[in-house]
Amino acid sequence: MLVSAFHYDLPEELIAQHPSAVRGASRMMALSRSTGEFADRQFADLPQLLQPGDLLILNDSRVLPARLYATRSGLHTQHNSPAPSGQIEVLLTQQLAGEHNDWTALVKPAKKIQPGETLHFADSTLTAEVLSTGELGERTLRFSPTVDFYEILDRIGHMPLPPYIRREKNAPDTPEDRDRYQTVFSRERGSAAAPTAGLHFTPEILAALQQRGVEVQTITLHVGLGTFQPVRAERTEDIRLHSEHYTLPQETAAAIVAAQKDSRRIIAVGTTTTRTLEHIARHCESADQPIVAHSGSTSLFLSPGLNDEFKLVRGLLTNFHLPSSTLLMLVSAFAGREAVLRAYAHAVADRYRFFSYGDCMLIL
C-alpha cells in the first residue's frame, strides 16, 4: 500500500502549541471499531465509556530532558584537520547496553559531526566522544564517566518537544513543558519523547476508572529514534522501524493472562503500549509460551495488510497523528483506514487540536 494513502490535509493552526489549560480537559472523539461511527466527547467521559472488568494498560516511561547543546573539538577522522567550533544540538534517543555510558543520538548539523570528535556540554564536566555513524545518520556517543549523569541532564537538558511545537532554540524549558510533557504516572526514565496519549490522565481520572471497576496496569516502552525519523519509503511494505526497549512487569503479565481467560477487554493507552502488547502476543505465540514478565525490544510495524490482526488489544486511546505517519498507519490497522480518515476529516472540520499536546480518540 502507498504511504500517500494515509495523507490528510491539516491546517497548521490546528497543531496544538500548548497543552489544554487544565490537564484532563481535552476533547475526545469516540470511534466505533465495528461500525466506523464516531461521536464528540470529553476525555473526562472516559470512565463512563469503559466497562467494569476492562484492563487499561499505560506506558509508564518517563521522558528524559534529552535535548542538549554542545560545542565541538577534536579531529575529523577523514581529513585529520581540526574541527571548527560551533553550537551542536544533540538529541539522546536510546541508552546502549554495556559498561560505558553510550547513547544513540541525533545531532545537528549532522554532516559535520564525525567519529573522533569530542562534544563539550554546558556543564563543563560533561563531554562525549563521537564513536560512530548509523545508517540513518544517527551518532553513537560515549559520555565521560560521571556518577551524576542524570542529575546533569536534569540541570542542562531540555525537554525533547517535537519540532512542530515551536519554542525558542536553547531557551530554558517553561514550567509548563517540564510538567505537562510528562505523564502523571511516569516512573521509568528513558524516553526521548512522551507517550502522548497518557498526557491527558490525572490522578482523579485514574481514581474514577478504578472506582468504575476498570483495572489499571503499566508496561514500559522507552520511545526512541523511530519517533523522530520521517517515513522515507513510498510503500508501507518497505517501512522498517527502529527497535525500542520494553519491560513487561509480573503484575501486568498476570493481569493480561487473567483478562484473556475471562474474555475481558484489554485497552491500550497509546500506540507505544499497543506495539508492545502486540509484539508480546506474537512472541509468545511463536514460542508457544505463556505471557510472563520479561524485558525485550520490539520493531513491530502495524499497518493495514501488515500485522493487522490484533491479538491482545481490543480498545485504543490515542492522540491524532501526523499525516502519512507510522502511528496513523497503526491506528488505521486497528480501526480501518477509511473509518479513521473519515474521523480525522471530522476532527479537522470541528477544530480538534492535533498531535502531542492535542486532543485524543478512543476506539472501541
CATH number of the 67-156 domain? 2.40.10.240
Q: What DSSP line would sit under 137-186, residue for residue?
A: S-EEEEEPP-TTHHHHHHHH-B----TTS---TTPPPPHHHHHHTS-TT-
> 4-41, pLDDT tens digit by residue?
999 999 999 999 999 999 999 999 999 999 999 999 99
103-120: average pLDDT: 89
Q: Is 247 helix (H, G, I), strand (E, B) or coil?
A: strand
Element (H, E) at 102: strand 102-108
For residue 332, is pLDDT > 60? yes
Q: Which residues, listed in sequence order, are joined to residue 89 by a DSSP beta bridge?
A: 69, 108
pLDDT value of position 77: 40
For residue 78, is pLDDT > 50? no
pLDDT value of position 82: 38
Helix axes 271-287, 326-335, angle to 10 degrees: 70
Per the structure block, which three cell numbers stand in for 222?
A: 522507552
Please report, for the chain, the start and end positions of each structural domain, with discontinuous segments joined by +: 3-63+179-363, 67-156
Query: At residue 31, what is the residue type?
Result: L
pLDDT value of position 86: 64
> 112-135, pLDDT tens digit by residue?
888 999 999 986 789 999 999 987
Smallest Cα–Cα separation from 355: which of 250, 271, 249, 274?
A: 271
Strand 294-298 relative to strand 244-248: parallel, antiparallel, unpaired? Answer: antiparallel
- Cα separation, 222 vs 60, whole angstroms: 9
> 146-199, pLDDT tens digit by residue?
778 999 999 999 999 999 999 988 788 999 999 999 999 999 999 999 999 999
Which CB contacts under 8 angstroms, 24+ apart, belong to 201-207?
A: 201/23, 201/24, 201/58, 201/269, 202/23, 202/24, 204/24, 205/24, 205/43, 205/44, 205/46, 205/47
Alpha helices in the chain (DSSP H): 46-49, 149-156, 175-180, 203-212, 250-261, 271-287, 326-335, 337-349
Per the structure block, which three cell numbers stand in for 345?
A: 476529516
Q: In the structure, what pLDDT confidence band is assigned to residue 228 with cuts at 50, 70 and 90? A: low
Count of Cβ atoms closer than 10 Å to residue 28 Cβ: 21
For residue 76, is pLDDT > 60? no
Kindly indicate whether the domain formed by 3-63+179-363 is annotated with CATH number 3.40.1780.10: yes
Q: Which residues, listed in sequence order, are joined to residue 70 by a DSSP beta bridge?
A: 88, 121
337-345: average pLDDT: 98
Report the Cα 61 to chain-centroid distance in Å. Answer: 9
78-106: average pLDDT: 76
Q: In the structure, what pLDDT confidence band is assigned to residue 98 with cuts at 50, 70 and 90? A: confident
334-362: average pLDDT: 98
Q: Is 189 helix (H, G, I), strand (E, B) or coil?
A: strand
